[in-house]
Amino acid sequence: MYRKDTSTFVTLPAPTVEEAADDQLDPTTPEATVIVPPYAGMALQDRVDMFWDGSDPAGSTTDWFPVTSAFLDKPIPFTVDNEFILANDGGTVSVTYTVKRDGNVIHTSAARVLRIGDQPGGELVAPSVDYVEDGMLEPGDVPKPEGTNVRIPPYVSMAARDRVAFTWRAASGTPSFGNYIDLPASWVGEEVVFPVPFAEIEPYIGSDVEVTYTVTPADGELRSSESLNFKVGWLFESPVELDLTVHGYALGPKPPPTSPDFVEFERVAMWGTAPYTYHSDDETVATVDDEGVVTCMGNGECQIIAIDATNARRAYPFKVSGILQIVFLSPSADWAGMKRVCDAAGVQPITLDQVRRFWQRYYPETGPVATYQGWLSYSFWTAEQIGAGTAWAYDLNGPDAQGNATGRHEDDYLQVIGIYLG
């Protein structure tokens, strides 16, 4: 890769390309001949550098020539091989030259911008955005707070005072933002770069994005470019909070063999180098499988950690609330004792509806629910009294959601479970 010195003002006319007609070049052209015209003050041993800057980096090259007596005050030809033409098919090439004397650049030319082949939608090709790969902008790869850059390649008829404006919008059309510049003469033939701070990218996380630009000459009509379309991925480190209150999800110490979709969350690592391994730093709150699918196991907070093939690691905070966590408190207590045990443990007595939902979450997949949890096979108190010294009890080993509930005398001794809301 070469670096072109553009520190001087434009003082020389643009080169010509013999094979180009109306600044358009057939990509199958075997080679292109760049002609640098003689310039005022041309001297022996001047060094002339030619720059062929393609819209595709693989289509860029450079060459140089020392002025000899055979070329003094004569045009200087440079040959560009087909590989540097074909690589820019559908794009553009900016051709310039500089003159060095005693190691210093004394002249810089204007640019000749060529269209290479057919360009869909006209002569303004799509912009590019740094860090977009395979249609995806991974936020974790973007420096913070610097962000990325929108890059607009040189275009045909580029001229000083052109207004170049870009727009970055969600595929839905909103939100959107952009910026513009009125080109100074020194930018003609150069890539136009607009910085995009990370703060501007954040609102688009998880969204499909379209980036376009327009060019409005000082004395001409507006032209629009093709669009660059990509998706902004999720920032892996973004915190996640799941509130399951609305689902009335009751969970015992031993989870059911299969979990409903609403207790799962998937975030796949897309940074670094695959493959990835995942783990949770507190599996009483959440577990995570080999595919990055997280399953809620209880109320609380934990970190979900991903490690890539180079041992680089990233993590995101994961918080769960709203689970009705069932806890076993006593194998034997009367109804009043059940209330005391729950108060002492800081949990709520379980209602008839809650214990029925708990049973339905497990049965029939697990068989008898109390046995599956490792509890005894007789009934549990609920918080609801019936009257005349009786209250509802529930048999978690029973086979029927309604029939499992029976009225028991409050002096009977049954098992006690409670609900911790977190």
Q: Which residues touch 399 (CB under 8 Å, ≥6 apart)?
A: 363
Helix H or strand E encompassing 85:
helix 83-86
C-alpha–C-alpha distance, residues 375 and 363, integer Å: 15
CATH class of 240-319: mainly beta
C-alpha–C-alpha distance, residues 226 and 26, integer Å: 21
The amino acid at residue 192 is V
| C-alpha closest to that of 149 among 202, 193, 214, 91 | 193
C-alpha–C-alpha distance, residues 339 and 297, integer Å: 26
CA distances from 304 to 169, 230, 235, 295, 405 (A): 31, 27, 13, 11, 40
- Domain 240-319 and domain 324-420 have a common topology: no
Report pLDDT digits (tens) over 15-63. Answer: 999 999 888 899 999 999 999 999 999 999 999 999 999 888 899 999 9
| C-alpha closest to that of 357 among 348, 346, 369, 343 | 369
Q: What percentage of the chain has pLDDT greater than the value 90?
A: 70
- The superfamily in CATH containing domain 10-116 is Immunoglobulins (2.60.40.10)
Q: Give the residue with greater pLDDT, 422 vs 92.
A: 92
For position 176, what pLDDT does the model report?
82
What does the domain layout of the chain look like in residue ranges?
10-116, 128-232, 240-319, 324-420
Q: How confident is the model at residue 119 (pLDDT cuts 50, 70, 90)?
A: low
Domain 128-232 annotated CATH 2.60.120.10: no
243-257: b or e for each residue (b if 16 or more CB lie within 10 Å)?
ebeeeebbbbeebbe
> Of the CATH numbers 3.30.70.100, 3.30.565.10, 3.30.70.20, 3.10.100.10, which one belongs to the domain with range 324-420?
3.10.100.10
C-alpha–C-alpha distance, residues 422 and 298, integer Å: 8
pTM of the entire structure?
Answer: 0.54
Report pLDDT digits (tens) over 224-263. Answer: 899 999 999 878 888 999 999 999 899 999 999 999 999 9
**Interior angle at CA 256, CA 359 and CA 299, nearest 5:** 90
For position 141, what pLDDT does the model report?
85
